[in-house]
């Protein structure tokens, strides 16, 4: 299992939407969810290209505590099942 913790979603969204949209970060735009959604799309495409089947989840509420503990509960924001169809 692989866990990816995003460390700079606000900065990524800020770069994408510019100074005018920056005021919306946190009120209208959830930067973490937006970056996760884009990342999931890229991962899904890469997995399909490599023939990897996977379940990709975007969750809310999980916290990494140091290097040895993952705190839950989680809320699933988005889920994708990547399957390779056989011709």
Per-residue pLDDT tens over the stretch 43-63: 999 999 999 999 898 887 777
Three-state secondary structure readout of 3-34 = CCCCCCHHHHHHHHHHHHHHHHECCCECHHHH
Residue 87 is predicted with a pLDDT of 58
Q: Which residue numbers in the chain have pLDDT < 70?
A: 19-29, 87
Buried b (16+ CB within 10 A) or exposed e, 57-73: ebeeeeeeeeeeeeeee
pLDDT at 83: 87
Decide if 17 contacts 35 (C-beta within 8 A): no
pTM of the model: 0.65
* The pLDDT value given to residue 50: 94
């Amino acid at each position: 299992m692989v866990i990816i913790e995003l460390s700079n979603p606000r900065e990524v969204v800020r770069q994408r939407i510019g100074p005018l949209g920056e005021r919306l970060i946190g009120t209208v735009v959830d930067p973490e969810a937006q970056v996760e959604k884009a990342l999931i799309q890229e991962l899904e495409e890469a997995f399909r290209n490599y023939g990897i089947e996977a379940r990709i989840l975007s969750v809310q509420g999980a916290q990494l505590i140091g290097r040895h503990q993952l705190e839950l509960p989680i809320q699933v924001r988005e889920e994708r099942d990547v399957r390779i169809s056989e011709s």
